[in-house]
Amino acid sequence: MASFKKTQIRSLPKIGQKVTADTLYWRKLNFPVTVKEFGPIDYIDVMPIEPYFIAVSSAAKVQIYNPITHQVHRHFTRFKEAAYGASIRSDGKLVVAGCDEGHIKLFDIGSKSLLRIFKGHKGPVHRCKFTADNVHVVSFSDDKSVALWDLPSETEIIKFSEHSDYVRAGCVSSISSDLFLSGSFDHTVKLYDARSPTGSTISVDHGSPVESVLMYPGNSIFVSVGGTELRVWDMLAGGRLLARVSQHHKTITCLHLASDGKRLVTGGLDRHAKIYDVQSYQVVHTLDFPSPVLSLGITPDDFTVVAGMANGLISMQHRQTPAEARALIPKQSLKDQKKSQTTYRFRLNADFRNVNRTFNPATDVEVATKNDNSLVSRYDMFLRKFQYSKALDTVLGKYIRKKKPAITVGVMHELIRRNGLKSALAGRDDSSLSIILTFLARNINDPSHSKIIIQVANTLLDVYENSCLTPQSEKLFLHLQEHVNREVEYMKHLMEIEGMLHILLASTTTQTRRGPVNIGQGPPVKVMLPSAAAAANATMVYNVG
C-alpha cells in the first residue's frame, strides 16, 4: 500500500544569519586584494562603462586603478594639498577632482593632462560631479556653497550658498542635467534646479550631519546618510520622509547602489557595509572590513566591490567565476568529476540532497518543506530492512556526524521509536564506540538535539554498564560526564539569571496588573528548553555516578 516514508530529519532553524539568495550572492566574493595608501581613502568612483576603472582619491593624489590587474593605471598628483572626491565622466574620458585649496581640477585620463581649473570656491571642495549632459560640473565646497560650472568656458554658472555649514555630500541626477542634490553638516539636504537660480527647490532635515546623498535613477527618490541613520525621501512629494533605517552603530559614511539599482549599500565607521533591499529597506547582507569604511565603489555588473578605509587600505573583491568556484573544491580531479556525474546515485552524498534548507526567524518553530526527492538514502534502506546497526553506522560516517549531525540525530530518533536503539548500540568495538561517545559529547549541549542525545547516552550506559571497557573508552565516558557536568553548571547559571529577570519583569508588571497573576509575559517555548535539558542532564549524572 503505502511506500516507505523517509526518516524525518528535524533541523531547527539556525539562529543568526539566514541563508538567503542574497547572502549566497554576496558570499561569492573572493578574498580581497588590498592596497595600502598613505592617507585615508576619501572617495572612490567607478567608471560606468567598461573596463570599469576605479578612481581613488586619497591624500594629495587621485589614482585610477584597473579592477582586473589591481594596478594603478593612471595617477594624478598635481595637487598641493589633499585631493577630494575624484569622479569620472560617464564616457570614461575625463576625471574631475576637488582639492584643499578650493580649486576643481579636470584631467584627461588618456593623456594625463590637466585640462581645466575652476577657481571660485573659498574653501576645500570635497565632492564634484559631472552632470548628465557631461558638459557641466557641480561642486560642493566647505565654504557652504554649491556651484555649477561650465566645462568649455571654465566659468561658474550659478552658485547656491544656502547651507550654514560645510557641504560634504552631493550628487547629480542621472537623467536631468539640471538637478543636483547637496548634503551638508548643517543637517540639511537640498535639491537644486539649475533652471531656478533663486534657491533650492526642496530642503529636508536629516537630523545629523549628512555624509553622503544619492538620487535613484528614476529621479523620484533620494537617500541621505549621516549619523547612524539612513533616510529615504520622496522627491515628487516635496521631500516626504519615506523610511528611516538605522542599522549601523557608528556613523554611516558612504552610499552606493548595486545589483542594477535593486540593492543599496552603505558603509560605516563600524567597519561594516550593509546591503539593503530598496523596496523594503531590510538588510539582506553585511560585508565586514578590517577598518572603518569611508568610501565604497561597486562596478555596475557587481563584479568588483571596492572599499576605501580610514587607515588607507583599499580592498578590492571580485566575484567568483564558475571556473574559480570549481577550482576551489580541492582534491577533485577531472576523473573524479566525471565519476561523480555518472555514479552519484551510489555515493553517500545522496543523503544530503534532501536536507531542508529553508529557515524561519522564529527559533522554536520548524518550517515545513516538502521532500520531493524520491532518492532513498542509505540509512533509510537499512531501516527498511530492519538493519539497525548498519543504519546507525551509515550516519556515523565522518562527513555526516560532523557536518550534518541533524541526520545522525534523526536516525537515532527513529531507532528510539522503533525500539531498536539498544540493539544498534550493543556489541560495538572500541573504535566505533569511541566515535559514538565523541559524537554524544560534542552534541549533548545542543538544545535542539539534547533530548535525543541524552536518551541515546542513557541507553549506551545501560548497554555498556557491566562490560569491560578499554582505557580509551573509559576516558571518553569520563569526558562525556565532564561535558554533562559543565552543561549542568551553565544551566544553573542561566536559571539564576532567568530568575533575576523574572523578578525584574514581575516588579514592572505588578504595578499595572492586579490579582494573583503569574504570567511569563513573553517566555516562548525556546526559553524553557534548556531547563528541561538541565533536568534531564541531572538525572543522567546519577547514572554515570
Structural contact between residues 376 and 345, judged by C-beta atoms closer than 8 angstroms: no
* String of contacts with another protein for each residue 392-431, x by CB under 8 A: ---------------------x--xxxx------------
Is 93 an interacting residue with respect to another protein (CB under 8 A)?
no
Is 502 an interacting residue with respect to another protein (CB under 8 A)?
no
Q: Which stretch binds another protein (CB under 8 A): 98-106, 218-226, 338-346, 360-368?
A: 360-368
Give me 42's grid cell: 576619501
CB atoms within 10 A of CB 175: 11
Rounded to a whole number of angstroms, the CA Rg of the chain reads: 31
Q: Which stretch binds another protein (CB under 8 A): 115-123, 126-134, 286-294, 451-459?
A: 451-459
Among 365, 375, 478, 500, binds another protein (CB under 8 A): 365
Residue placing its CB nearer to another protein in the complex, 152 or 522: 522
What b/e string do you get for 216-242 counting C-beta neighbours within 10 Å, with b at 16 or more?
beeeebbbbbbbbbbbbbbbeeebeee
CB of 463 to another protein, least distance (A): 13
Structural contact between residues 41 and 58, judged by C-beta atoms closer than 8 angstroms: yes
CB of 334 to another protein, least distance (A): 36
Cβ-proximal residues to 93 (8 Å cutoff; 6+ apart), any chain: 108, 109, 110
CB of 22 to another protein, least distance (A): 8
Q: Which stretch binds another protein (CB under 8 A): 5-13, 118-126, 127-135, 481-489?
A: 5-13
Distance, in Å, from the CA atom of 145 to the CA atom of 156, rounded to the nearest integer, reads 12
Structural contact between residues 354 and 65, judged by C-beta atoms closer than 8 angstroms: no
Q: How far apart are the first and last CA of the chain?
A: 49
Among 51, 238, 290, 520, binds another protein (CB under 8 A): 520
List, edge to edge, every strand of the sheet that includes 146-150. Answer: 125-130, 136-141, 146-150, 155-160
* Residue 432 identity (one-letter amino acid): S
Is 78 an interacting residue with respect to another protein (CB under 8 A)?
no
Among 16, 152, 330, 522, binds another protein (CB under 8 A): 522
Applying CB under 8 A, the site for another protein has a residue count of: 44
CB of 382 to another protein, least distance (A): 13
Is 465 an interacting residue with respect to another protein (CB under 8 A)?
no
Q: Residue 57: what are its φ and ψ, rounded to 5°?
A: -105, 120
What SS3 class is residue 339? helix
Among 280, 332, 349, 472, binds another protein (CB under 8 A): 280
CB of 492 to another protein, least distance (A): 19
CA distances to 137, 186, 192, 254 from 203, rounded to whole Å, are 21, 12, 9, 20
Is 327 an interacting residue with respect to another protein (CB under 8 A)?
no
Is 495 an interacting residue with respect to another protein (CB under 8 A)?
no
Q: Which stretch binds another protein (CB under 8 A): 82-90, 107-115, 357-365, 493-501?
A: 357-365
Structural contact between residues 40 and 312, judged by C-beta atoms closer than 8 angstroms: yes
Among 70, 159, 455, 461, binds another protein (CB under 8 A): 455
Among 161, 373, 521, 543, binds another protein (CB under 8 A): 521
Is 242 an interacting residue with respect to another protein (CB under 8 A)?
no
Give me 345's grid cell: 546515485
Q: Residue 520: what are its φ and ψ, rounded to 5°?
A: -75, 110
Is 16 an interacting residue with respect to another protein (CB under 8 A)?
no
Q: Which stretch binds another protein (CB under 8 A): 42-50, 186-194, 356-364, 468-476?
A: 356-364
What b/e string do you get for 7-16 counting C-beta neighbours within 10 Å, with b at 16 or more?
bebebbbeee
Residue placing its CB nearer to another protein in the complex, 73 or 451: 451
Residue placing its CB nearer to another protein in the complex, 193 or 366: 366
Among 164, 220, 282, 508, binds another protein (CB under 8 A): 282
CB of 305 to another protein, least distance (A): 21
Give me 100's grid cell: 584643499
Distance, in Å, from the CA atom of 266 to the CA atom of 211, rounded to the nearest integer, reads 11
Is 471 an interacting residue with respect to another protein (CB under 8 A)?
no
Distance, in Å, from the CA atom of 267 to the CA atom of 206, rounded to the nearest integer, reads 18
CB of 524 to another protein, least distance (A): 5
Is 2 an interacting residue with respect to another protein (CB under 8 A)?
yes
Residue placing its CB nearer to another protein in the complex, 250 or 418: 418
Distance, in Å, from the CA atom of 142 to the CA atom of 537, rounded to the nearest integer, reads 66
Q: Which stretch binds another protein (CB under 8 A): 109-117, 124-132, 277-285, 322-330?
A: 277-285
Is 15 an interacting residue with respect to another protein (CB under 8 A)?
no
DSSP 413-429: HHHHHTT-HHHHHTT--
Q: Tell the residue number behind the cell numbers 581640477, with chain if given.
A: 105
CB of 2 to another protein, least distance (A): 5
Distance, in Å, from the CA atom of 33 to the CA atom of 306, rounded to the nearest integer, reads 9
Is 511 an interacting residue with respect to another protein (CB under 8 A)?
no
Ramachandran area for residue 351 (φ above 0: left; ψ -120 to 50: alpha; else beta): alpha
Residue placing its CB nearer to another protein in the complex, 80 or 384: 384
Is 534 an interacting residue with respect to another protein (CB under 8 A)?
no
Residues forming beta bridges with residue 192, ordered by sequence position: 180
* Chain residues that interact with another protein, rule: CB under 8 A: 1-5, 8, 10, 20-21, 277, 279-280, 282, 284, 360-362, 364-368, 413, 416-419, 451, 455, 459, 513, 515-525, 528, 532
